[in-house]
Structure formats: C-alpha cells, structure tokens
Amino acid sequence: MEEMPRAGRGPWANLLSLWSRGGFQDFHRRMEGGFQRLGPVYRDRVGSLDCVNVLLPRDAAQLLRAEGPFPRRMGIAAWSAHRELRGHRRGLFLLNGPAWRSDRLALNRAVLCPAGARRFVPLLDAVARDFARSLRGRVSAAPGGALTIDPHPLLFRFTLEASSFALFGERLGLLGGGSGSGGAQRFLGALEEMLDTTLPLLFLPRPLLRLHPPLWQRHLRAWDLIFQHGETPGTPAHATPGLYPVGITVQRYPATDVVLHNYRVPAGTLCQVALYAMGRCPDVFPHPERYDPWRWLGKDDTTFKALAFGFGARQCIGRRLAEAEMMLFLAHVLSNFSIEAVSTEDVPTVFRFILMPEKSPLLTFRTLD
C-alpha cells in the first residue's frame, strides 16, 4: 500500500487548501481529477480522513466482498458528538457491530423486504395521486395553462408527506399548493444547514470539532431543530430518504486484507468507491454523459456499476421506500403533464455531504388532456 499514488501533500496541508479556497463543495470533482492524474486507485489524506479511493467496478467488487459480517462505513464524528452531548441514542447510520446488526435485521422486515414494501406502496400511491391532482389545479389556473416553477419545494413536500404516511400512517397536509407548514419549512432549512456544516467538520478529529466555534454551533442548532421536529407527533425526522440525490461514494472498512488493482490494502483501512467519478468514466461507460437507458438493458456486464443505494447488508435502509416514491411520483406526473426544461444547459452540482444541484432548474408543466 505504501507504493500507492497519493493525492496532494500532507493531510493538514490538503485540508487547509480546501478550507481556504472553499473547495469542499467541489470534492466530487476533486476525486474525479485524482483518478485522472493518478490512476484507478489512489490514497487521499485530508485532515483526519485517510482513505483509499477506488474507481473501477472490479475493484469495488473485491472491496465489497471483503466487508465481513458487520460492514462499517465511514464514521461522522460531528454527528456522534451531537448525540452524546444531547443524550440522544445513535441511529442505525452511526451504529456498528452487533448493535447495528440487531437493529438492522428488525428494520429490514419492516421497510426493505418485499412484504414490507407491499404494505406501504398503496399509501405512497395515494399521496402521488393527490400531488398530481393538486399540481393539475395550479397548472389549469396559470395563464395559458403553463406553470413554470422551481420544483424543489414541491418535491420536498411530496417526499415528506409520502414518507410520513407510509411510515406513520399520518398525513401532514403539505400538498395544498401553499408554502406548507412552518414546521416543515423549518425542518427543510435545518436539514440543509446540517448537511452544509457537516462537510467541513467531516475532516476534523473529535477533539478539534470546536476549532471553528460558529460552524460547530450552527451544526448543533441544526441537529437540535431536526430532533425537535422528529419529537413532534406526526412529523418524522428520518423519513426523507428520497429528498436529495445520492452520495458520491460507498465506503467500507474491509474485514480482511484485499488486493485492489495490484495494491494490497490492509484490513481496517477506510476505502471509498467513487460513484460520481465511476459514472463519468469512459472506461466504465462508453459515452458516459449521454442519456442512454439501453446501457442497462443490453448484454454488457453491469456488475457493480450501479451502487447508488450501496451494497449488501449495509445498503440504504430506505431504498425500497425511495424507489417506490420515485416510481409512483414519475408515473402520476408523467401521465398528467408534459414537462419542459426552461434551459437545456447542464445543471452544475455541488457536494454538501451529499450531491445536489447548485441551483434547481426551472420546469414548465402543461396538462395532458
């Protein structure tokens, strides 16, 4: 592993460079550039983060086969510190070992297995129908029967309404066409603030989290608002897996030594499969930026090329809920409306611990009669 190419200089010089030029939001492009310069496997050190970055599906397969019975993803010191300071229990995302496994097995039966998914699909379908009906009323009332909007607020309200109904059997009343409840809007703001402050704190070890007091206090206040929202009856704090786009990596600490592209990586080393860079790599997908659904339906090998929800026992617990939400949302919206983008330019993305559009694109809706 000592012969593996390394990105940048030392870990703290790399962190200072990112911090001084505001480079955290371009971290996905930094990783992509690292592969272009250093090859399909390289080592990156930023502050307390010391990891091996992996690009190719065959190396991702080797890594994920070595995850062991208690798969571990990268820890987030800031999130764990908040739970301990406020006396909150750690959730599934932050747990490891036997505690994680017991909770995970119980939740799998409720939300991930096919029988669990069949129970909440009719509830999601009802919300998707209501969303389409509400939007149809707004479009019909718009001048010329065309409504041009930023869809992000509507998508958030749909996701929160659908998730709450599926998980708790309660409707929040967010689809009336107005701005939504004040609590829901505060929750959205707190989520965005939490994600925005997580990224720079991600690279600091636990003793240094308070190195930037304003940033640390913003992070704590955001989590406090999220937990307050979750403690209010009928307002789930953790029921929005479809709110944002996918993360840019899948992380694992291999339980055994693993060979990645001819480099022997010791057990317990943090490794990241770079999903953003893999999806844009011509060695993985010919013409990667071309919209081509047929690449998934032909005879080409697609093994370990679609890891948006992770893999194996530690894949996203909300996967089935998010997939059903997206599918039903698209089915009802596309059967009711024609949709046009105001601009055909590519939508730039930023990394705020998860990947999201830098600015939501404007879409024009017209009813299909």
- For the stretch 224-233, pLDDT in tens is 998 887 665 4
Nearest to 41 by CA among 31, 49, 30: 31
Residue with tokens 């909440």: 120
Burial of 156 (0-12, 13-18, 19+ CB in 10 A): buried
pLDDT band (50, 70, 90) for residue 244:
very low
pLDDT (0 to 100) of residue 245? 33
> Sign of torsion, CA 331 156 362 197?
negative
Q: What residues contact 173, with CB distance under 8 A and at least 6 apart? A: 161, 181
pLDDT (0 to 100) of residue 250? 93
Nearest to 158 by CA among 231, 240, 41: 240
Give the whole-angstrom CA distance, residue 349 versus residue 32.
14
Q: How many helices (H) and strands (E) does the chain have?
A: 11, 11
pLDDT band (50, 70, 90) for residue 170:
confident
The rounded mean pLDDT for the chain is 88
Give the whole-angstrom CA distance, residue 166 versus residue 121.
8
The residue ranges of every structural domain in the chain are 11-367
pLDDT (0 to 100) of residue 263? 97
Which amino acid belongs to residue 88?
A: H
Give the whole-angstrom CA distance, residue 321 versus residue 166.
8
Give the percent of the chain with pLDDT over 70. 93
Give the whole-angstrom CA distance, residue 43 versus residue 46.
10
DSSP-derived pairing of the beta strands 349-351 and 363-367: unpaired
Question: Is the Cβ–Cβ distance between 271 and 31 less than 8 Å?
Answer: no
Average pLDDT value for residue range 178-183: 58
End-to-end CA distance of the chain: 62
What CA dihedral angle connects 96, 99, 105 and 108, to 10 degrees? -60
SS (H, E, C) 75-144: CCHHHHHHHHHHCCCCCHHHCCHHHHHHHHHHHHHHHHCHHHHHHHHHHHHHHHHHHHHHHHHHHHHCHH
What does the pLDDT look like over 269-283, one tens digit per residue?
999 999 999 999 999
pLDDT (0 to 100) of residue 322? 92
Average pLDDT value for residue range 140-164: 90
Tokens encoding 50: 């010391």
Give the whole-angstrom CA distance, residue 228 versus residue 187.
9
Which amino acid belongs to residue 218?
A: R
Ranges assigned E (strand) in the chain: 41-46, 49-54, 146-149, 249-252, 258-260, 263-265, 270-274, 337-341, 349-351, 355-357, 363-367
Provide the CATH topology of domain 11-367.
Cytochrome p450 (1.10.630)
pTM for the whole thing?
A: 0.87
What CA dihedral angle connects 114, 118, 121 and 126, to 10 degrees? 180
Could you tell me the CA-to-CA distances from 72 to 18, 64, 95, 203 in Å, in that order? 26, 11, 9, 18
Question: Is the Cβ–Cβ distance between 251 and 73 less than 8 Å?
Answer: yes
The conformation of residue 243, written as its DSSP 8-state character, comes to S
Q: Does pLDDT of 268 surpass 60?
A: yes
What does the pLDDT look like over 103-113, one tens digit per residue?
999 999 888 98
Burial of 221 (0-12, 13-18, 19+ CB in 10 A): middle
pLDDT band (50, 70, 90) for residue 240:
low
Q: Which of 127-131, 175-179, 255-259, 291-295 bottoms out in mean pLDDT, i.e. has the lowest?
A: 175-179
Nearest to 241 by CA among 152, 306, 163: 163
Q: Which of 51-60, 167-176, 274-283, 298-307 bottoms out in mean pLDDT, i.e. has the lowest?
A: 167-176
Which amino acid belongs to residue 318?
A: G
